[in-house]
Amino acid sequence: MGATSENPHQTGFLTAWVPVVLAAAIFAFFAGMIGDVSAGLAPEWSWAWLPGLDVALAFRVDGLALTFCLLISGIGTLIMLYASSYLNGHPEYGRFALYLFSFMLAMLGVVLADDIIALFVFWELTTITSYLLIGFNNAEAKARRNALQALFLTGAGALALLAGLILLASIAGSTRISEIVQVEGLTEHRWFTGTLILILLGAFTKSAQIPFHFWLPNAMAAPTPVSAFLHSATMVKAGVYLLARFHPAFADTSLWIWSLTLAGAATAVWASILALRQTDLKQALAYTTLMALGTLTLFLGQSDAYAMTGFITFLIVHSLYKAALFMVVGAIDHETGTREVAQLGGLGRLMPVTALAAALAALSMAGLPPLLGFIGKELLYAGALDAISAPVLVTAAALAANALMVAVAGIVALRPFWRGGVEALPKTPHEAPWQMLAGPVILAALGLIFGLAPSLLQDTLVAPTVAGLLGTPDMAKTLTLWHGVNLPLLLSGATLALGAAIYALHGSVRAFLITTLSRLPAFDNGWDVLINGLKRFAAALTAIIQTGDLRDYMRWTFLTLLVALVATGLLRNAFLWHFDLSDMSFAVAAILIITALAAVTATRATSRLMVVIAIGVVGVGVALIFITFGAPDVAITQLLVETLSVILVATVMLKLPRLYEGGTNPFRAGHALIAVALGGTMTLIMMGVVQGPLDLRLTEFFEQSAWVDAYGRNIVNVILVDFRALDTFGEIAVVAIAGIAAYALLRATSYHKKGEEK
Amino acid sequence: METGLALLIGVLVAAAVYLMLARNVMSFLFGLLLISNAANLAIFTSGRLTEGAPPLVPEGADAPVGIVANALPQALVLTAIVIGFGLFAFSLMLVFRAYAGLGTLNGDEMRVAEPKEDKA
């Protein structure tokens, strides 16, 4: 503390305290709603947002939402307090606090939103704020990479989620979640399977279920307060929240039951094994978070009252102990300068308060009585034994994961404090400042208080949430420490014994895991391969399309145009062959043939003069066509413009080199092929166009109004200077601007040349 | 009649595209002139062709007498011709300026923005 107080970047009083006070006020606001919600009410607010699309900024507070709100704002308050000390003196603390607070608001939005579009917007806001927080140490390449990885994975999942939500809304005919979950026959709709898969993709990526799990441990590149808040207690639970939100509507389909059971079980067990392997305290905790997310998903796959009660209880337990343990690990890191298990030990005497909080949180994590963790575990076992999918599988997965959890709890929260005989630490530790102690102590104490008096949670949060999950009130099982001697209690005993055994042997277990797992392909490396492959693919594609050669660009442009025109013409059946030259007079035929010949000559001539003459002939030919078919004004303009163009070209060409080097104009067969194909397509299109219907309403309007309304007898002139006068004015402006720009270019050219001569 | 115009438009487009794919940027500009003409003819032809009857209201009448040419595409083509000329004049000056600066009209060598990567 002494060192930091002299820091020139000392975090200001307001910067440190405003987020804490605001978060506490939000917590108090939601705490005030417990009464209403436990009485079965669900307060709602709604503002019209996009009324045309029936999208509203609608919020609804039911048991599930309130539980999440209290966890988010409560833990948020403690985290803000913790961060103000943990990052005290950081030059960019203000930015950090802004991100963290924005994240909290976005997360509250996710759990409160009752409209799917609002839900999605808040969901993406959590993705973006999480990205900014993971990459907060943006000077480190690793932080940037891991932040991007989280952004890509959860962002891609969110796109799937958006598609799923929109499909769901169109099936149900409503964008309100509270209405959607009550729609009958939702699961029989033919789009249902696809919809559910898309929604599950969104939830599984957000909550890091296998095979999308690897971003979460990497997200630990963030400062510890972020890990404690986002990646343990809140953001990663957004996916679980989403699953819980739609549980009432989907839970009876086999797709739901099996995908959640399998993904949850696999994640829980695999993550527990990986947790045991870690030597870094924070990484070990990160994997236990995966385990918890897997367990929560696993139990959301069931529909039994025990499973649901266990789900919400375990959710609360986990948030309390995991946030506390992360903050403890942060405090250890802050005070000792290391998080390596092998280096830490004997901190119990130096940091007694931290040690006590850690012990309480760890006991809750291990599921020992009389803590809330014990109650949660008992309920989970009861739920597992009644599982509708495969009770043996669910129970075995829960047992394995819980036993490994016991061992990890010991490694993370007991060993660093009570192990003796350690060498010197990077820093001499003492107790962390009170702001960093408040969080772990309060959260760990809550685990004990709720364990001793579970009735505090029973009617306030658990009962309304379970009622919401199951769709019927009064189903929640009673939270109690003593159920009598039954199968769940025996399983708890087995868990403890197994866990203690693993803890005792964990040194050799870890060595075994490290050698075994290093032989397996890692998902994280796969990610790098994928990203690098994508980069190489982009580079290769760029090398083909974007060569830097102007002619390649023209070629790609014309080829794309050709494909687009031909494909559209074929798909819409728009190419209508029409060949009728019977009405052609000799004069017209002569004009057409001369013009066409001149155009071909322009492509084949070798002399510049010849090309200019040929182009001029084409221009005059077109003017003759205009005059033949009743357009004298157009013909005059065409002649004038054509003359001007030729004069301009001739003038400029005096200063330019020859068109073709060496005086030859070799035939380019490939280009000719593209050219003829496009020309032929144009002819076919025109043949179709002139056979289609012609809407003459506008022409008739102009014919009738030209004299009567505008007092002009030349209809074309009237259209230009009267009906479309503004358009003509715009046209004049364009020509004027082109003239000014051309003049500026010429001036710059002569100036540049003078400069060169010097 | 329309068939003949459709064929001519095809020839003009083909010639224009061929010229626009040439190495010399001056040829590109000639192609631009041709493709503008082709586009104008296409608009004109879409309104159907009526020989020798300009859209005029005779003295003493309130509306054209008999069948006259479609006035609407004519008005559009007039605008298009002028705009096309503006585009052409500006492009021509751009090419001139580019030649003064780079000393070449060869599109392959105009690579200030995207220089060739060293293949060493």
> What distance, in Å, lies between the first and last C-alpha atoms of chain B?
60
Cβ–Cβ gap A615/B30 under 8 Å: yes
Q: Nearest-CA residue of chain A relative to B47?
A: A694
| Whether pLDDT at A390 is above 90 | no
The answer for A 669-688 residues in CB contact with B (under 8 A) is 671-672, 674-676, 678-680, 682-683, 686-687
Domain total in chain B = 1
Least confident of A92-106, A739-753, B67-81, B101-115: A739-753
Interchain contact A708–B (C-beta under 8 A)? yes
Over range A583-611, report the average pLDDT: 91
Between A516 and A110, where is the model more confident? A110
Over range A734-747, report the average pLDDT: 88
Distance to chain A for B66, nearest Cα, Å: 11
**CATH architecture of structural domain A550-698:** Up-down Bundle (1.20)
Interchain contact A558–B (C-beta under 8 A)? yes
Over range A650-656, report the average pLDDT: 85
Q: How confident is the model at residue A578 (pLDDT cuts 50, 70, 90)?
A: confident
Interchain contact A565–B (C-beta under 8 A)? no
| Whether pLDDT at B75 is above 90 | yes
**The pLDDT of residue A245:** 92
Share of chain B above pLDDT 70, in %: 97
- Choose the closest CB to B74 out of A600, A631, A674: A631
Take residue A550 and report the two structure tokens written for it: 């102007």
**The pLDDT of residue B118:** 55
8 Å CB contact between A450 and A372: yes
User: Tell me, what CATH number does B46's domain have?
Assistant: 1.10.287.3510
Cβ–Cβ gap B72/A719 under 8 Å: yes
Cβ–Cβ gap B24/A628 under 8 Å: no
Give the model confidence (pLDDT) of A182-220 as tens digits. 888 888 888 889 999 999 999 999 888 888 888 888 888
DSSP A620-658: HHHHHHHHHTT-HHHHHHHHHHHHHHHHHHHHHHTTS--
Beta strands in A609-744 (DSSP E): none
Cβ–Cβ gap B75/A719 under 8 Å: yes
Distance to chain B for A119, nearest Cα, Å: 44
**The pLDDT of residue A1:** 37
Pairing, β A55-60 against β A44-50: antiparallel
Residues of A in contact with B100 (CB under 8 A): 749, 752-753
Tell me whether residue B116 is in a domain.
Answer: no
The answer for B 22-81 residues in CB contact with A (under 8 A) is 22-30, 33-34, 37-38, 40-42, 44-59, 61-64, 68-72, 74-75, 77-79, 81
Q: How far apart are CA B98 and CA B92, in angstroms?
A: 10
Cβ–Cβ gap A645/B88 under 8 Å: yes
- Choose the closest CB to B71 out of A676, A690, A719: A719
- Choose the closest CB to A752 out of B2, B56, B100: B100
C-alpha gyration radius of chain B: 21
Q: Nearest-CA residue of chain A relative to B21?
A: A551
The residues, ordered by sequence, that sit 6+ positions from A118 with a Cβ below 8 Å of its Cβ are: A49, A55, A56, A57, A58, A59, A109
| Domain boundary assignment for chain A | 1-250, 253-504, 550-698, 699-758
Type of residue numbered A172: A
User: Which of A545, A576, A629 should be substituted to probe chain B, the one whose Cβ sees the most B Cβ atoms within 10 Å?
Assistant: A629
∠ CA(A107), CA(A108), CA(A113), 5° rounding?
105
Distance to chain B for A606, nearest Cα, Å: 11
Residues of A in contact with B28 (CB under 8 A): 554
Between A291 and A755, where is the model more confident? A291
Q: How confident is the model at residue A10 (pLDDT cuts 50, 70, 90)?
A: low
Share of chain A above pLDDT 90, in %: 36
Interchain contact A588–B (C-beta under 8 A)? yes
Share of chain A above pLDDT 70, in %: 96
Take residue A304 and report the two structure tokens written for it: 């039994």
Q: Please choose, from the candidates A622, A690, A579, the residue with its C-alpha nearest in 3D space to the C-alpha of residue B47.
A: A690
- Choose the closest CB to B13 out of A649, A682, A699: A682
- Choose the closest CB to B74 out of A633, A660, A739: A633
Cβ–Cβ gap B10/A679 under 8 Å: yes
**The pLDDT of residue A661:** 67
The Cβ of residue A600 has, within 10 Å, a number of other Cβ atoms equal to 17
Between B39 and A377, where is the model more confident? B39
Residues of A in contact with B110 (CB under 8 A): 550
Tell me whether residue B115 is in a domain.
Answer: no
Q: How far apart are CA A575 and CA A361, in angstroms?
A: 75
Q: How far apart are CA A723 and CA B71, in angstroms?
A: 12
C-alpha gyration radius of chain A: 37
Cβ–Cβ gap B44/A675 under 8 Å: no
Average pLDDT of chain B, as a whole number: 89
- Choose the closest CB to A683 out of B10, B37, B46: B10
Give the model confidence (pLDDT) of A402-414 as tens digits. 888 888 888 888 8
Q: How confident is the model at residue A151 (pLDDT cuts 50, 70, 90)?
A: very high
A vs B: CB pairs below 8 A:
302
Between A654 and A566, where is the model more confident? A566
**The pLDDT of residue A475:** 74
Interchain contact B112–A (C-beta under 8 A)? no
Strand partners, A340: A280
| Whether pLDDT at A30 is above 80 | yes
Q: How far apart are CA A249 and CA A385, in angstroms?
A: 23
**The pLDDT of residue A487:** 83
| Whether pLDDT at B119 is above 50 | no
Least confident of A467-471, A606-610, B73-77: A467-471
- Choose the closest CB to A735 out of B49, B54, B86: B86
- Choose the closest CB to A641 out of B28, B81, B90: B81
Residues of A in contact with B79 (CB under 8 A): 720, 727-728, 731
Over range A275-299, report the average pLDDT: 88
Q: Please choose, from the candidates A661, A531, A612, the residue with its C-alpha nearest in 3D space to the C-alpha of residue A215.
A: A531
- Choose the closest CB to A659 out of B24, B40, B58: B24
| Whether pLDDT at A343 is above 90 | no
Take residue A443 and report the two structure tokens written for it: 């959260």
> For residue B115, how far is the Cα from the chain centroid?
31
Average pLDDT of chain A, as a whole number: 86
Residues of A in contact with B90 (CB under 8 A): 738, 741-742
Residues of B in contact with A698 (CB under 8 A): 72
Cβ–Cβ gap B24/A731 under 8 Å: no
Distance to chain B for A243, nearest Cα, Å: 50
Tell me whether residue B45 is in a domain.
Answer: yes
Q: How confident is the model at residue A638 (pLDDT cuts 50, 70, 90)?
A: very high
Residues of B in contact with A585 (CB under 8 A): 51
Cβ–Cβ gap B23/A551 under 8 Å: yes
| Whether pLDDT at A326 is above 80 | yes
| Whether pLDDT at A425 is above 80 | no
DSSP A410-457: IIIIIHHHH-------SS---PPPHHHHHHHHHHHHHHHHHHH-THHH
Take residue A600 and report the two structure tokens written for it: 């071909």
**The pLDDT of residue A752:** 46
Least confident of A600-604, A654-658, B77-81, B97-101: A654-658
Which range of A160-164, A258-262, A649-653 scores highest in mean pLDDT? It is A160-164
Interchain contact B82–A (C-beta under 8 A)? yes
Q: Which domain holds residue B22?
A: 2-50+70-108
Q: How confident is the model at residue A666 (pLDDT cuts 50, 70, 90)?
A: confident
Tell me whether residue B62 is in a domain.
Answer: no
| Whether pLDDT at B34 is above 90 | yes
